[in-house]
Amino acid sequence: MSHDHDDRPRLTEAQAEAALNPPPGRNGGDLVVESLQGLGATTVFGLPGQHALGMFDALRRSSLSYVGLRVENNAGFAADAYGRITGEVAPLLLSTGPGALTSLAALQEAAAASAPVLAISSQIPTAGLGGGRHGYLHELRDQKASFRDVVKSVHTVRTASQIPSAIAAAWESALTAPHGPVWIEIPQDVLLAETTLPPVSAMDATPRELYPRPELTLAAAQLLSRAERPAIIAGGGVVRSDASGKLLALAEKLNAPVVTTFGGKGAFPWEHPLSLQSWLEDRHTTDFLESADVLLVIGSGLGELSSNYHTFSPRGRVIQIEADAGKLESNHPALGIHSDAREALADLLEAVDTREDPTAAERVRTLLRQVRDRIDAQDLTLEQRVLASVREALPDTAPSFWDMTILAYWAWSAFDARHPNTMHSAQGAGGLGYAFPAALGAAAADPTRPVLAVSGDGGSMYSVAELATARQYDLPVTWLIVDDGGYGILREYMTGAFGEATATELARPDFVALAESFGVPAVRTSPDALATDLAKALAEPGPSVVVLPALLRMFAPTHL
């Protein structure tokens, strides 16, 4: 079999000379950072450790920008957000054993949200690999086994010459739809050993495209074109694949109402006449979607939150477009189309007929009025005012990151994310502590615009160490901490289920004084002053903290 040599990169004279006579003083760590540079990386996140020092030493000989966080899990959240915001691979450099394992919760969130994170961990020396009990510091019998169920792919390197290929393979895996985290581990001695291999030049790790099968596209187009009451559920896959424009065009061509999942926030214009917004935890919305004779589900597995806690039972035909084959028909029988959302929407847009429906916009208005009446009957003025103040203060294009907290649960349903890929939360895996370190990662990706993080007092305690990171790198992140004295949603759940709450009440610091001790300006606000104080903090350069003492309540569930 012959190969086409015309497309191969040509080395400059300097590169050719370096290939013949590699510069001295390079080690396996240099091959890591050279490979990342060759693949186009510009920023890496991480936290050093004894076995990983070869990688970190090589950083100073590279052009890569390094953002070091204080806890590995937070470094993973920062990389996750960088990957979501840019759509590019976010390298995450970690040490062995405890350092590696501490990143697991962040990698689970990246997997659930399809964020392309490339975790590169050190390992014990090569002699210790294989499960023997040698007593090395940080030794695990099989470190990668802890990650195999979480990430898309795992790669173990045993020699320096394997490093560039392993990183390229992992890079391609991370960016192949569905995006996700990947894991590489490299032994300490391989990272430290001097290498005579030539410097790594540009590398190709182009992800495989995931196209829909044409016969499935045609079948879906026929169903949608002939439907009497079509509807669309748009999930995070629409955002990840940058397909919002195609979704809008398809919905308008079909006159089909669109609801976005909590992971798909911003995928469809909030105030559009066909927008059902995001009220998925509302029985009126569930009924509306159940009544559709053809339901198009794009980039969602219709999991617990997107199905109103599995109370959703569609009566019509379901068409499901999903890049993750494991999610196809995992909850409901469907015409399953294994494809990247963008590619499938592009093909559908060409194949469907224009469909007139003078009743669609009125049916949307009726549903939203029913939802509004239900919320208005529950005396939740404070909660709606606080969320409206956040929306008023936040610039339309500024990204926001939301922890698992009551205000975030309101935002999932009620917040207008005015642009695609601007609202992000930890609802994929549901872990605490996501918002602030993730916001730091987004600010590292684009320091020209402010970033908002929203946490409760309980979740914020997972991340307070990163105030030092925010100050060290002068990142433009404003952190809104809603202080209700404990784990507010768990307090509600336990009181509702058992009559009283246990283990939910928390001693906490003076958050304003704590932030100021890190050199981060902070203010204590009130519901009346929130919009003004938050807007002012977001407009100032560098990090800031706004503390809102408030006891917020959730709207009543409809799935029980």
What are the pLDDT tens digits along the chain (560 aa)? Answer: 445 555 566 777 877 777 778 888 899 999 999 999 999 999 999 999 999 999 999 999 999 999 999 999 999 999 999 999 999 999 999 999 999 999 999 999 999 999 999 999 999 999 888 888 888 899 998 999 999 999 999 999 999 999 999 999 999 999 999 999 999 999 999 999 999 999 998 888 999 899 999 999 999 999 999 999 999 999 999 999 999 999 999 999 999 999 999 999 999 999 999 999 999 999 999 999 999 999 999 999 999 999 999 999 999 999 999 999 999 999 999 999 999 999 999 999 999 999 999 999 999 999 999 999 999 999 999 999 999 999 999 999 999 999 999 999 999 999 999 999 999 999 889 999 999 999 999 999 999 999 999 999 999 999 999 999 999 999 999 999 999 999 999 999 999 999 999 999 999 999 999 999 999 999 999 999 999 999 999 999 999 999 999 999 999 999 98
Contacts for 490 with CB less than 8 Å, ≥ 6 apart: 501, 503, 504
Phi, psi torsion values for 495, nearest 5 degrees: -65, -40
Phi, psi torsion values for 76, nearest 5 degrees: -65, -40
Listed in order, strand segments (DSSP E) in 199-313 are: 230-234, 258-260, 275-277, 294-298
CB atoms within 10 A of CB 397: 11
Whether residue 71 contacts residue 442, with contact meaning beta carbons closer than 8 Å, is answered with no
Residue bearing tokens 């919305």: 285
Q: What is the pLDDT of residue 6?
A: 55
Q: How far is CA 492 from CA 198, 461, 485, 487, 552, in A?
A: 61, 20, 13, 9, 10
Q: What CA–CA distance (Å, rounded) separates 368 from 363?
A: 9
Closest alpha carbon to 31 in 200, 201, 204, 202? 200
Q: What is the pLDDT of residue 7?
A: 57
CB atoms within 10 A of CB 44: 27
Whether residue 531 contacts residue 508, with contact meaning beta carbons closer than 8 Å, is answered with no
Can you read off the two tokens belonging to residue 50?
Answer: 């004894």
123 secondary structure, DSSP code: E
CB atoms within 10 A of CB 4: 6
**Residue 424, SS3?**
strand
Contacts for 450 with CB less than 8 Å, ≥ 6 apart: 395, 398, 476, 477, 478, 538, 539
CB atoms within 10 A of CB 448: 6
Could you tell me the pTM of the whole model?
A: 0.96
Q: What CA–CA distance (Å, rounded) separates 38 from 172?
A: 13
Q: Can you give the length of the chain in residues?
A: 560
Q: What is the pLDDT of residue 9?
A: 62
**Residue 33, SS3?**
helix
Q: What is the pLDDT of residue 1?
A: 43
Q: What CA–CA distance (Å, rounded) separates 545 from 430?
A: 23
Can you read off the two tokens belonging to residue 478?
Answer: 């404003």
126 secondary structure, DSSP code: G
Burial class for 219, CB neighbours closer than 10 Å (0-12, 13-18, 19+): middle
